[in-house]
Amino acid sequence: MYRTLYSPQGAHINLDGRDIINMASNNYLGLANDPDLVAAAKEAIDKYGVGPSASRNIVGNFAIHDELEEALAKFKGVEAVLVFNSGVAANTGVIPVLVGKGDTIYSDELNHGSIIDGCRLSRANVKVYPHMDLAKLEEMLKEPTEGKKLLVADAVFSMDGDLAPLPEMAALAEKYGAMFMVDDAHGDGVMGPYGKGTVEHFGLRDKVTVETGSLSKAFGAAGGFVAGTKEFIEELRPKARSFIFTASPLAPCLTAAALAAINKIADDDTLVKRLWENREYFAKRMEEAGLNTGSTVTPVIPVIVGDAEKAEELSARLYEKGVYAQAIKFPVVPRGTARLRVMISAAHTREDLEKAADAIIEITKEMGII
């Protein structure tokens, strides 16, 4: 069973009828209920109505889609972007266009489910390497293969908050003649100057073949996208099955909201800075208390307790104290690494963060975890 929300997303939400501090959403910049995004969405409804009613390749390509793609391409520093109705659709759509039968994909074992599905749909051979194990990855890349090669990874891993070593991976891709795809769903709006993403953070723009992203997280709307060269995006448009077969392209109001988000952060890094200040405060509180936060370096902060029951108990007791953070357990994470996943937002006040940190420390002490 899942819980029900009776309010917009925010630092405080009404969950199942009670007001609670929300530390479980991907609302990194607090934009999901931002007045500028809400106004842009309302304006788009007045202008374009609600339903797209056709695939973009037929008559469902609204002017606002073109505007968003242009703005996103500029923001990401790429030639072109294609917007999908979700990040899942972007990943499942793009991978089968990059590779097919007889080709080989090299994929981190903790890659997002939609990357895994995209790999399966492509019918390429998939070689899965242990999480961030570059020695093993190189061993695999050395093995002789026919056809094209594709190295694919999340930039920020959503259950651990750790960062893929993209510079080393790009060097390996180059050395062994592989294309390099990065999914930056949790890095866009978070990493790099002005939240331009993890590729920008590492200065790797010309080393990455394609990038995928989501508009449902820091950008506060919904939808996904693929960023790359003009030539590749032109190739993708008539080929990506999750793009061509849907008469549910990203709704104009959500497209407008995502565009408003880009416009809001493109030359004002106030929210990105606040997010990182909040992240540093909270991570420090957890670490000083002796809690295990794994290898996080981002606003995804796992509090690893090991046992699935312990993680559930911690989440439930926290809920009683007015703080919501989700317990994550096997099969989402490996057995023995169950955790509370705390998601930091720029919308959290210092008071919210203090209250949540105090409660986690108090409960974990009572449970004998620290």
Stretch that binds ligand PLP, among 87-95, 102-110, 313-321, 342-350 (CB under 6 A): 87-95
Q: Is 158 a catalytic residue?
A: yes
In single-letter form, the type of residue at position 176 comes to: Y
Select which of 65, 76, 186, 329 is catalytic: 186
Which residues are 106's β-sheet partners?
A: 127, 151
Cα separation, 314 vs 144, in Å, equals: 48
In this structure, what token pair is assigned to residue 58? Answer: 């037929």
> Nearer Cβ to ligand PLP, position 160 or 183?
183
| CA 219 to chain centroid | 10
DSSP-assigned letter for residue 317: H
CA distances 189 to 35, 127, 184, 347, Å, are 18, 30, 10, 14
> Of residues 160, 183, 188, 352, which one binds ligand PLP by CB under 6 A?
183
Q: Is 345 a catalytic residue?
A: no
Using the rule CB under 6 A, is 158 a contact of ligand PLP?
Answer: yes
Among 110, 130, 124, 239, smallest CA distance to 178 is for 124
CB atoms under 10 Å from CB of 334, counted, come to 13
CA distances 186 to 44, 158, 168, 313, 343, Å, are 26, 7, 20, 27, 11
Residue nearest to ligand PLP (CB): 87
> Of residues 25, 27, 92, 114, which one binds ligand PLP by CB under 6 A?
114
CB atoms under 10 Å from CB of 174, counted, come to 12
In single-letter form, the type of residue at position 58 comes to: I
> Nearer Cβ to ligand PLP, position 82 or 369?
82
Q: Is 186 a catalytic residue?
A: yes
Using the rule CB under 6 A, is 246 a contact of ligand PLP?
Answer: no
For the CB of residue 157, give the shortest distance to ligand PLP in the complex, in Å: 8
For the CB of residue 11, give the shortest distance to ligand PLP in the complex, in Å: 20
> Nearer Cβ to ligand PLP, position 332 or 370?
332
Using the rule CB under 6 A, is 189 a contact of ligand PLP?
Answer: no
For the CB of residue 349, give the shortest distance to ligand PLP in the complex, in Å: 26
Which residues are 358's β-sheet partners?
A: none
Using the rule CB under 6 A, is 85 a contact of ligand PLP?
Answer: no
For the CB of residue 354, give the shortest distance to ligand PLP in the complex, in Å: 28
Per CB under 6 A, residues contacting ligand PLP are 86-88, 91, 112, 114, 154, 158, 183, 185-186, 214, 216, 224
* Residues recognised as catalytic: 158, 186, 217
